[in-house]
Amino acid sequence: MQDRNRVFPTKEELISYFNFGLSMEAASLTPDQYKRRTEQGHTALEEYYDYYINEFAKDVEIEDKIPRYMRDGVPVTGKIDKIEFDGEYCDVIDYKTGDPDKSAKQYTLPPNEANPDGGDYWRQMVFYKLLIENYKDRNWRVRMGTFDFVQKGKKSGQFKRIQVPVFEKDEEIVRTQLRQSYAKIMNHEFSKGCGKEDCQWCNFARRYELVRPVEVAEIDDV
């Protein structure tokens, strides 16, 4: 979003970039869907641009791709939306769509009694910190992670940026989760689902017999 003269594009140029990107996905959308996505995108980006244009950092890496490498015996890789630099430290920015009033708090919480694995976004940010700091070809230290919602909350009418601090104990939790998940994948243990009654994926999978009952899976695995 920034040219070589360290000047940000105009709002009109931003919308033009969006239109081009959306046009690449036109084949997968109906005409009504395409029209609706265009209108939603224009509204969200114009409002976001007007609200934040004077706050954008300029010393950044955009869509930074970290090549695959091994960590704790697990192959890891990833693409990060934006990294902002401040001396030897950096802040990781991940952009999100959707209603932040509904999802921001739920998905960014660390592990608790109700959700011992932590929220999806929390795990994502901890993983990004591990990914960046353990990549041998760089010497970047992650200070903070931020989820930047590009749409206003439907109830609050406000933009939200949720900061997620990452501590050493958090890294150990996610490293363990990575090792366990990778071991299950290697053992082909990825068809059980979470088992929650309100899980859309599990309900879909049960309906089409894509998930084996837990007791059968356990017997087969013995």
Domain ranges of the chain: 1-56, 57-186, 191-222
Minimal CA–CA distance to 100: which of 172, 61, 152, 48?
A: 152
Question: Tens of pLDDT along the chain (222 residues)?
Answer: 555 567 889 999 999 999 999 999 999 999 999 999 999 999 999 999 999 999 999 999 999 999 999 999 999 999 999 999 999 899 999 999 999 998 878 889 999 888 888 999 999 999 999 999 999 998 999 999 999 999 999 999 999 999 999 998 999 999 999 999 899 888 877 656 666 666 666 665 555 544 444 433 333 333
Give yes or no for a contact between 52 and 62, defined as CB atoms under 8 angstroms apart.
no
Minimal CA–CA distance to 93: which of 124, 54, 48?
A: 124
Domain 57-186 has CATH 3.20.20.70: no
User: What pTM, to 2 d.p., does this model score?
Assistant: 0.80
Strands 89-96 and 141-149: parallel
169: left (phi over 0), alpha (psi -120 to 50) or beta: alpha
Give yes or no for a contact between 81 and 117, defined as CB atoms under 8 angstroms apart.
no
